[in-house]
Chain A
């Protein structure tokens, strides 16, 4: 149904720069997200994730570069782009002066929608969020997980093509997180484009078709979660949780060693080699496991603690 130029990328960013008092928060970012894709933006605090998302929405002016969202230039046409974008912010900003249901009605008006005209839609969104029993609850009585679910369906009020989620599960307990992940998987299955920023590698691995690791305002690497790990690290890792007395036993032809504080990580493509190391090193506190996105993240963004 869509015309040719609409079939293009959901998001296209070229040479994006955003400086605050001369200091770059985003420093020459190129990024492309296809329609229907779930894209994860990973990075340490201060990497520029939130700034990038704000730039996408036209909520802040870029210092340089070009942004197109759903085919529209941003910030020039941000107002029109936002008609088709749902936003789940990092911190909940539900309206405390209204009940659960009223929050959706009031938010619909900001999109020029009359609540009476979308009554059915509001009901089905509240069902989707499993909030049908809490229509008249004031916001302050909701738990953190419930608030997030309401924030998520609020972002869907105008049936957006693209949903942007800034750390959607930060601060949630495991149940609430699983619940939200299930909802996001349903959205993804329905073909909606999702862009999410997160600190949780597990979240990215589970939800995202493609992830980008961002650091110092730039994308350091991007690919599918598995391909990204494979590109930078061998498949297996021995995580040693005690000080190593004799490092000379490690054969650098067959493994790759990284230190994270008191932890030593030994990567290898040969699992048997790692198993044999346990005996030879005489270690008691260790874990042998497959390498994952978190290892890759730490590998790419440096081991030091960062403010």
Chain B
């Protein structure tokens, strides 16, 4: 009934991003430590502990293999968490979105601002791990810089998908299911801890449809000085997840917020 063009985001989305950035800037140290702790623990426990037994995996030192995967999974987790718990708090508890929507911004702007902020949070967290890996001499070289836009894209795709849950949710309880039933299995089958080839072929076929798999197939080579294969296909999958997630989340947001 109402032209779809009215539901396209405006430049105003950047004000939403900026709002979240300014809040983060106030508390960035504790925020970083909290988000940083878990991936670092995985890296130490598995990398050094497990790495004693498994020297190499897929022709890489196991610590390097694992760390490249964890760069991706930490971007995924940070972006998802931001788009789930933090965004839901702003929507329902703090009524921040309500205040924003009485300005000349629309739900399309709010969702784009939130998802791009979630992507930024993913990038910030992954960047912290990239720096640690650099210091530990796990990786080096200029190819690392190419990983940054890819990590942002990974964060955007996961932020957008999580946002669908957020605009559908009636309480925080909803998000536990998303994390445990969706993200955790994803983490296990997407090649973070071991290569896909170790999995039975039906699982591999499913894993090939999942965004984290494609993220890792791009990031792991980039961090270890190789050019990834099928760049276009991997990027396309992530872009499709990002745009579809954004589109669905925005459509649901209009129904929820403009009742």
Contact = CB atoms under 8 A, between A and B. Distances in A.
A95 B104 contact: no
Most A CB contacts (10 A, CB to CB) among B10, B104, B105 go to B104
Contacts of B230: none
A261 interface: no
Nearest to B19: A106
Interface stretch (B92-100, B156-164, B177-185): B92-100
A79 B104 CA distance: 5
A80 B12 CA distance: 12
A106 B103 contact: no
B98 A79 contact: no
Nearest to A96: B94
Tier of interface size on chain B: 20 to 34
A273 to B, nearest CB: 51
A76 B94 CA distance: 28
Given A109-B19, A110-B15, A112-B15, A60 B102 contact: no
Interface in B133-156: none
Contacts of B10: 79
B201 interface: no
A107 B103 contact: yes
B22 interface: yes
B240 interface: no
B23 interface: yes
B197 interface: no
A189 interface: no
Nearest to A61: B258
Nearest to B96: A95
B170 interface: no
A76 B99 contact: no
A93 B95 contact: yes
B22 A106 contact: yes
A110 B23 contact: no
Nearest to B26: A97
Interface in B7-30: 10-12, 15-16, 18-19, 22-23, 26
B22 to A, nearest CB: 7
Given A60-B259, A75-B2, A102-B22, A110 B94 contact: no
Contacts of A82: 102-104
A79 B15 contact: no
Interface string B66-108: 0000000000000000000000000000111011111111100
A87 interface: yes
B6 interface: yes
A89 interface: yes
Closest 5 CB pairs of A and B: A110-B103, A93-B95, A87-B102, A109-B15, A93-B99
9 contacts: A61-B2, A91-B95, A93-B96, A93-B99, A94-B99, A95-B99, A98-B23, A110-B12, A111-B104
